[in-house]
């Protein structure tokens, strides 16, 4: 008997099909729910986020550089401003071949061949999508040249920017400083986002120190672009709502400088190398800050070429060197008022006692001679006469009696051997020698010994003692204030460019030198005597005075003269001649200005520096500056 076999189970297949349909339906339902949830997320919950992303495909954000703050003198005269300028900029990711592009720009005269390497480094130091300035301040001919060849340079374009401009050229350049193109070194220390679209940054002086105040806050604007990245007004029927964030201009700086006094000081110094610093003793305001020769800061603002910069570096007169802030020189006899005051404070000198000056001084127990200066012999002099007539013999003896330790300790609070703290960078501290300094400065034991003859030279501002013109002006202001000092400053107020609100900066007091009023008056009388009668500056700075000046001449040796040799200026090379110094404050009874003048290789302080100081004081006190 044959068994019956069921070939097909329709009911079983039906149940299997139904189960599969349920699973598939459930899977489709889950996917649909997930898809719907994702659509809600994209279209509703994160609509703004993805709208911004989509905008990025057709909208480019362009930074709007903030206008740099203005710089004005104490009377409101603008000494640094902004002017519209055209500059050539390059976006690296849009340039097919950077090296070829730079070479072709050289061929049409828009770049110098010497600047190609520096330009390449500058471009590569930025992000590939940054617009990098490669040529600042194009003139009309250069703009026309590029316009003709523009189609040859994808990724290169002309932009309109605000460029820094100094209307008075090199006037007060070492105080103001300058702005220049942002370098690789600058990029390593700044916030790149804050400087997006900015091409210039402060390099020296006030421009550098107050960079944060002057820079402002950059803004931005959205620009509609096509597939090639070019700006368009609309895409099809779409007219987007483009946003703009306005930049916030930098703060304006109000300087303590008086432009009129500054001009007089620079014109008086003329073509000679040197420095002039004038301070207000009552608050530390810098009224004039001169270092000659100078340079035109507009060269850096327009983009200085390598050849131009090298010419400045190679100039034998060093126009880039700030002599007022960084030049260190022997003080010469300008230090004698402080030495006299030290003698009074320590009680080693009686101001009424006379000493006979025969033109030569010998240390007790020594045969070495220390000669009087060019004035020869003075005869019998007391302390006031010795200051007025600048008697070296008197101060040789006084310094020997004081000793180097007391001299160094007394001079330190005047600011010698340290920076004054002026509000621009790069200041040199000079050198205040002492026994301890010499032990550290020299390697050989025999050179570490401090000799009595070095103290004698110290007493007339020679030897190791070195000062800057700024330090001497600061010291003079302390003498004027009878011991009260203020930190020198070039900026005394900051102004909001929007509201016009002016924020005054409070003067900062420094160390105080303690001495009796009588001691201060004795020293002041000696300095007043320098401009009267037989005083060293009576025939130059002291003529036809309408106010009382207290001053002191100084003549600083550039090289040492042997024991049996005589210094004859006409026989000495010009750059080896003595430096000329003069310090003064006026009016002596109520000082409103303290001045220090240096003329490099200018000879006698009375003939080289003193007339310049007189012109500066007249400009402030007589011609309406004060």
User: How far apart are alpha carbons 479 and 312 in whole angstroms?
Assistant: 38
User: How far apart are alpha carbons 503 and 475 in whole angstroms?
Assistant: 28
CA 392-393-396 angle, to 5 degrees, is 85
Q: Could you please report the per-residue DSSP string of 190-227?
A: S-TTTTTT--EEE-SHHHHHTHHHHH-B-EEEEEEB-T
Residue 88: CA count within 13 A, CB half-sphere:
26
Answer positive or negative: Cα dihedral of 462, 463, 469, 470.
negative
Query: Which residues 6+ apart lie within 8 Å of 249 measured at CB?
Result: 66, 67, 68, 69, 216, 497, 498
The catalytic site residues sit at 333
Q: Is residue 232 within 8 Å of residue 225, measured between CB atoms? A: yes
User: How far apart are alpha carbons 69 and 212 in whole angstroms?
Assistant: 10
Secondary structure of residue 131 in the 3-state scheme: strand
Specify the DSSP class assigned to residue 151. G
Question: 3 to each of 6, 11, how far by Cα in Å?
Answer: 10, 22
Residue with tokens 């603008």: 78
Cα-atom radius of gyration of the chain, to the nearest Å? 36
Question: What values do phi and psi take at 53, rounded to 5?
Answer: -65, -40
User: How far apart are alpha carbons 80 and 73 in whole angstroms?
Assistant: 10
User: How far apart are alpha carbons 279 and 494 in whole angstroms?
Assistant: 20
Q: At what angle do helices 336-345 and 392-402 cross, to 10 degrees?
A: 40
User: How far apart are alpha carbons 68 and 74 in whole angstroms?
Assistant: 19
User: How far apart are alpha carbons 485 and 477 in whole angstroms?
Assistant: 7
How far from chain centre, in Å, is Cα 622? 30
User: How far apart are alpha carbons 44 and 39 in whole angstroms?
Assistant: 8
Query: Which residues 6+ apart lie within 8 Å of 211 measured at CB?
Result: 201, 202
Question: What values do phi and psi take at 369, rounded to 5?
Answer: -105, 135
Specify the DSSP class assigned to residue 329. B
Helix (H) or strand (E) holding 176: helix 173-176
How far from chain centre, in Å, is Cα 440? 31
User: How far apart are alpha carbons 75 and 473 in whole angstroms?
Assistant: 22
Classify strands 491-495 and 252-255 as parallel, antiparallel or unpaired.
Answer: antiparallel
Query: Which residues 6+ apart lie within 8 Å of 58 measured at CB?
Result: 224, 225, 226, 235, 240
User: How far apart are alpha carbons 252 and 493 in whole angstroms?
Assistant: 9
Strands (DSSP E) along 280-392, which ranges?
286-292, 355-357, 360-362, 369-371, 379-381
């Amino acid at each position: 008997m044959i068994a019956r076999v069921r070939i097909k189970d329709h009911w079983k297949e039906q149940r299997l099909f139904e189960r599969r349909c349920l699973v598939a339906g459930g899977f489709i339902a889950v996917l649909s729910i997930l898809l719907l949830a994702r659509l809600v997320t994209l279209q509703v919950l994160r609509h703004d986020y993805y709208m911004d992303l989509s905008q990025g495909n057709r909208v480019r954000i362009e930074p709007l550089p903030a206008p740099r703050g203005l710089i004005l003198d104490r009377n409101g005269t603008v000494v640094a401003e902004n002017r519209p300028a055209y500059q050539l900029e390059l976006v690296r990711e849009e340039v097919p071949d950077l090296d070829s592009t730079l070479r072709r720009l050289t061929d049409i005269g828009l770049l110098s061949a010497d600047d190609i390497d520096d330009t390449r480094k500058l471009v590569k130091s930025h992000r590939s999508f940054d617009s990098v300035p490669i040529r600042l301040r194009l003139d009309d001919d250069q703009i026309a040249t590029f316009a003709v060849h523009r189609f040859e340079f994808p990724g290169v374009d002309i932009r309109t920017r605000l460029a820094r401009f100094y209307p008075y050229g090199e006037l007060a350049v070492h105080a103001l400083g300058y702005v220049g193109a942002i370098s690789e070194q600058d990029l390593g220390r700044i916030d790149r986002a804050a400087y997006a679209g900015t091409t210039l940054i402060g390099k020296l002086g006030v421009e550098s120190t107050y960079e944060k105040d002057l820079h402002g806050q950059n803004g931005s604007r959205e620009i509609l672009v096509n597939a090639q990245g070019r700006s368009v007004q609309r895409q099809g029927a779409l007219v987007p709502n483009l946003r703009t964030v306005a930049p916030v201009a930098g703060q304006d700086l109000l300087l303590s400088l008086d432009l009129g006094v500054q001009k007089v000081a620079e014109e008086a110094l003329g073509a000679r190398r040197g420095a002039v610093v004038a301070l207000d003793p009552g608050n530390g305001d810098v009224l004039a800050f001169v270092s000659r020769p100078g340079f035109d800061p507009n060269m850096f603002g327009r983009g200085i070429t390598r050849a131009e910069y090298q010419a400045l570096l190679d100039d034998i007169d060093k126009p880039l060197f700030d002599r007022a802030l960084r030049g260190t020189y022997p003080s010469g006899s300008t230090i004698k008022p402080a030495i006299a005051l030290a003698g009074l404070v320590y009680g080693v000198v009686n101001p009424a006692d006379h000493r006979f000056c025969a033109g030569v001084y010998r240390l007790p127990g020594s045969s070495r001679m220390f000669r009087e200066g060019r004035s020869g012999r003075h005869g019998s002099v007391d302390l006031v006469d010795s200051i007025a007539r600048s008697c070296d013999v008197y101060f040789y003896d006084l310094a020997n009696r004081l000793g180097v330790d007391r001299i160094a300790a007394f001079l330190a609070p005047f600011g010698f051997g340290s920076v004054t703290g002026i509000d621009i960078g790069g200041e040199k501290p000079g050198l205040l020698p002492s026994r301890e300094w010499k032990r550290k400065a020299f390697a050989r034991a025999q050179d570490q010994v401090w000799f009595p003859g070095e103290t004698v030279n110290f007493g007339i501002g020679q030897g190791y003692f070195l000062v800057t013109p700024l330090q001497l002006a600061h010291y003079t202001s302390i003498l004027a204030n009878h011991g009260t000092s203020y930190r020198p400053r070039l900026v005394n107020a900051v102004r909001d460019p929007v509201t016009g609100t002016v924020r005054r900066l409070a003067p900062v007091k420094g160390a105080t030198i303690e001495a009796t009023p009588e001691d201060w008056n004795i020293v002041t009388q000696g300095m007043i005597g320098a401009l009267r009668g037989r005083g060293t500056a009576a025939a130059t700075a002291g003529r036809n005075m309408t106010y009382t000046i207290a001053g002191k001449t100084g003549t600083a040796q550039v090289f040492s003269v042997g024991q049996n040799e005589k210094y004859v200026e006409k026989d000495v090379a010009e750059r080896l001649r003595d430096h000329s110094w003069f310090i003064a404050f006026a009016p002596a009874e109520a000082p409103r200005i303290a001045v220090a003048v240096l003329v490099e290789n200018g000879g006698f302080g009375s003939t080289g520096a003193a007339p310049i100081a007189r012109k500066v004081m007249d400009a402030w006190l007589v011609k309406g500056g004060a």
